[in-house]
Chains A and B, each alone.
Chain A
Amino acid sequence: MTESHELWLRQIDAELDGELSLIERSALAKHLASCSHCSGARASQLEVRVALARSAGNAHARVVPRPTIRGRALAFWVTLALLAGAAVGWLAYGRWGGPGSGSVEDARAAIVVP
């Protein structure tokens, strides 16, 4: 794929997101009329977006709906992450301990008479 095709594909993306000016849209339309590869890419991009809009429950949307984060869901996931972190920390402390872990006697000198 050439560099100019890469550029046109990015322009197709931007057009479908409604981010192109009129001049850019006109230039893209001219190119699509003469390039079957790019017009095919545009059609498949549109199909993907339709599929995404359907899965988001709005098949007639003008653009792909952006996922929204609800406050309650965010609070739930943050709480869950904190609880998981605390549980892992507690388990790790029990397993490996903090500084100076292990029995005091194990770390003390031993005198052995063979």
Chain B
Amino acid sequence: MPGRRSWSRSVLAAATLLLALQAPGTRLTYRVAVVERVGADSHVVARGSVSGGLDTDLRLALRTDSADIEALFQVTAEAGEDTLTLGAEFFTKRRLGRSRRGLPLWEQDNYRRVVRLAWSDTARIHPFGRPRPDAPRGLWIELVPERGFAGGEARPGEELHVADPAIDVRLEAVVRPRRARVIFNLVRGDTVSAPVGLDLVPDAPPRRLQLVLAGRRTALEVGLARPEPAASARDRVLALDADVVCLRVGLAGAALPVGVLCGRLNNVARRLPLFASDTLLATFVWPGGR
């Protein structure tokens, strides 16, 4: 029965499409336009986009002579819903004037804004508050969250075109690593062991690591953890430590850890003294992307 077969194929295709839109294969894109209005004319001064997996956040910075607006935008989407929640953590500084010593005085503020909108709808962000109707000039940011198929592209992407060089705007993709590759070496004096690489998942149970140096085996237990919340409000609000992981190192079979190493996934080797003259070198890198 060809008719029934075609109907069931359509249902299957629709179900596949729906699943694909909600599954990890969905790519989230934040389309951003910075618009300036002078009198009745408005024009785009900068345009860009940030894309990545559904857990990708957008960090936006807009700087003028008298204000410094930084914000972290996050999208929360429920499966099967056509709407999303756009949350924004703002960290702002405004110049109020000068001190008696001639130094600039800044007013600092941080707060959260949340709106609900449909996918591909435009959210207009007035970074300096709602404009007065009679204001001769105005500046706002138009943000459009979109979703689509990842198409095998898992890495985050950034794009920015600035039409007016007088404006200082930055867009960054913020991604918290789901796993990290750590390359280990053991160093004793001038001798270095062969590198051993492990893919570690934050907050997963520790894994056993064996390094051989000059015929002697050293067995360690290593595990990744997320860092403690940053002490600085700006770092916390803007998730500046999003790509920081902490490596807990312990001796195999021992209850207490030998030490903890925290760092960004930036291919920099970090040293942790172990015992006697042995030093562990750990290099944090992003796992290979597709």
Q: Is the CB of A109 within 8 A of B129?
A: yes
Asked if B71 lies at the interface with its beta carbon under 8 angstroms from chain A, I say yes
For the residues of B in contact with A, the DSSP-based class is strand
How many angstroms between the C-alpha atoms of A99 and B94 in the bound complex? 11
How many angstroms between the C-alpha atoms of A111 and B125 in the bound complex? 4
Q: Is the CB of B113 within 8 A of A109?
A: yes
Q: Is the CB of B111 within 8 A of A108?
A: yes
Asked if B265 lies at the interface with its beta carbon under 8 angstroms from chain A, I say no
How many angstroms between the C-alpha atoms of A112 and B140 in the bound complex? 10
How many angstroms between the C-alpha atoms of A109 and B130 in the bound complex? 7
Q: Is the CB of A114 within 8 A of B122?
A: yes
Q: Mark A90-114, 1 if CB is under 8 A from B, else 0.
A: 0000000001100011111111111
In the complex, chain B residues whose CB is within 8 Å of the CB of A111: 86, 88, 113, 115, 123-126
| Closest chain B residue to A102, Cβ basis | B129
Asked whether A112 and B123 contact (CB < 8 A) given A100-B107, A107-B129, the answer is: yes
26 contacts between A and B (CB under 8 A): A99-B96, A99-B107, A100-B94, A100-B96, A106-B129, A106-B130, A107-B94, A107-B128, A108-B90, A108-B109, A108-B129, A109-B71, A109-B88, A109-B111, A109-B127, A109-B129, A111-B86, A111-B88, A111-B115, A111-B125, A111-B126, A112-B115, A112-B126, A113-B117, A113-B121, A114-B124
Interface residues of A (CB under 8 A from B): 99-100, 104-114
User: Which 6 residue pairs of A and B lie closest in terms of their CB atoms, listed nearest first?
Assistant: A99-B96, A113-B117, A110-B126, A112-B124, A111-B115, A109-B127
